[in-house]
Amino acid sequence: MSAFVTPTEPTAALAIEAIGEELAVFDDWMDRYQYIIELGRTLPPFPADWQTEANLVPGCQSKVWLQPSPNPTTLSFAGASDAAIVHGLVAMLLRVYSGRPKSEILATSPQFLKDLGLIGALSSNRGNGVAAMAERIQTLAK
């Protein structure tokens, strides 16, 4: 099994829409946090030998690793974190961005994180970390 995340929705926009609908099912943020943690459990295993300094995302309070695929036409990612909620946030970001053409990644603003209320609902350190992950993905797509 590949460590890289394969998209379940055909476009990043549809992935964002699906995540928004899934989060809207829950009335409070404690239930949403539990859902996000469950999302993290769906990530493929991240190889231990990829947990390197080069793959660490700077700006995250928790340790977060992102490994891009070497595919020239689409950019897929493998990711992991040492914190359960952050691992779920990695899964959410990779659901949107992994397996997409670089042009689609660059055209998909991480603004959706604010629009879905995620940035405001997280601690400032976690919010900054999610923004750092999205920025790293955008940088790798350039």
- Could you give the domains of the chain? 12-141 (3.90.1010.10)
Residue type, 106: L
pLDDT digits (tens, 9 = 90+) for 39-81: 999 999 999 999 999 999 988 778 999 999 978 789 999 999 9
The pTM score is 0.91
Quickly count: other Cβ atoms within 10 Å of residue 94's Cβ.
26
Instruction: Read off the pLDDT of residues 74-123 as tens digits, 9 standing for 90 and up.
Output: 999 999 999 898 899 999 999 999 999 999 999 999 888 888 888 776 76
User: Are β-strands 100-101 and 64-68 bridged in parallel, bridged antiparallel, or unpaired?
Assistant: unpaired
Half-sphere exposure of 55 (CA within 13 A, CB side): 18
Q: Which residues are catalytic?
A: 60
